[in-house]
Amino acid sequence: MIEYDPNRHWLRDIRHLGTSWILRRLVRATAITGVYSVAVSVALIRLDLEGRRAISGTFSLLGVILGIILVFRTNSAYDRWWEGRKLWGSLANHSRNLAIQLDALLPGDDVELREWFSRLLADFALALSGHLRGRVDPSILAGPWMAEARVPPGSPPPHVPAHLARVLVRRVWALRDAGTIDGFGLLATQPHTQALLEVAGACDRIRRTPIPFSYSVFIRLFLLAYAAILPVGLVPEYGYLAVPLVMLLVFALLGLELMAAEIEDPFGLDCNDLPTHAIADAIRADTRQLLGLACNPAAAAPPPYSKVF
């Protein structure tokens, strides 16, 4: 995610655009539209097919309808992005709250146990970040949790975040059974241990469920048809002035669609995607601090962006 200060100097931020994946697609599409518009204009004007009728009114109507459909599209994509951000914020909150409860519940001098929990919480966030990007690399996890998984041969690979949550819950119950914490302590940790899998499941839902296929195709077909006939509609009235107008309209409408398609899955590595890796790092630092452990500020290498904008 590109971090920027939304209130000032936004012109300076435009420098990011040069490397932008969406912008490149958008600029390419707008340029193609321009070439096409010029061709249509030349054909209509040279062949004297330029009508005398003012027909742009219905094109405005089509544009307005397309505009409100795209706002629906934008809203639905933005809601996913924002819900994803809320889920990761909630993951950080639950991790911190769980660390605070454990800090009060665990014996003050059992550093090993505190290490264990802080590592597990940090690894859960890391594993979820990887899981949402397709696969989890066990080597980035700080603890040897996967060794315990004992996947039977022939079984599919385990759901890593779910497995980590399982390890956590087992340990908490074991502490209760051993008398280290009592029933009320267990109750105090439960909302937070349960929340881990709820966050993971909800993120999975967002990742796996784009807008229904029909809408996706419908909007793009409509956009394509509209861009195709727009020069035919505007040239008779506007002459060559139609070319920049068509390009600006296509820029606006196609831009909405492309941006919506990009933020719809907020867990990738695009520049608009959520900084899940950075949040996982913050969870590691905060839980260590709240459990009273030394925290070495290992500079987390920023993950490479596969595309920008």
Nearest 5 degrees, angle CA 40-CA 41-CA 42?
95
Distance CA 180, CA 175 (A): 5
Annotate each residue in 265-284 with x if it binds a copy of itself (CB under 8 A) or - if it does not, as one string.
x-----xx------------
Find, among 293, 260, 266, 265, the residue nearest to 279 by Cα: 266
295 binds a copy of itself (CB under 8 A): yes
Q: Which residues in the 206-225 window bind a copy of itself by CB under 8 A?
A: 209-218, 220-222, 225
- Name the DSSP letter for residue 270: S
3-class DSSP string for 146-209: HHHHCCCCCCCCCCHHHHHHHHHHHHHHHHHHCCCCCHHHHHHHHHHHHHHHHHHHHHHHHHHC
Binding residue (CB under 8 A) for a copy of itself from 50, 115, 180, 289:
289
Q: Among 109-117, 119-127, 132-140, 181-189, which window interacts with a copy of itself (CB under 8 A)?
A: 181-189
Strand partners, 308: 20
How far lies 156's CA from each of 18, 135, 159, in Å?
42, 13, 9
Q: Which of residues 35 and 82 has its CB atom nearest to a copy of itself in the complex?
A: 82
Rounded Cα distance between 277 and 285, Å, is 13
Instruction: Print burial letters for 286-302: b (CB count within 10 Å at least 16), e (below 16).
Output: bbbebbebeeeeeeeee
Q: Which is nearer to a copy of itself, 74 or 180 (CB)?
A: 74
Is 41 a residue that touches a copy of itself (CB under 8 A)? no
Least distance in angstroms from the C-beta of 135 to a copy of itself: 17
Sketch the per residue contact string, 243 through 262, with a copy of itself: x for CB under 8 A, - otherwise.
-xx--xx-xxx-xx--x-xx
Site for a copy of itself in 48-77 (CB under 8 A): 51, 53-69, 71-72, 74-76
Per CB under 8 A, which region of 37-45, 114-122, 136-144, 286-294 contacts a copy of itself? Answer: 286-294
Interface map 118-157 toward a copy of itself (x if CB under 8 A): --------------------------------xxx-xxx-
Would you count residue 113 as binding a copy of itself (CB under 8 A)?
Answer: no
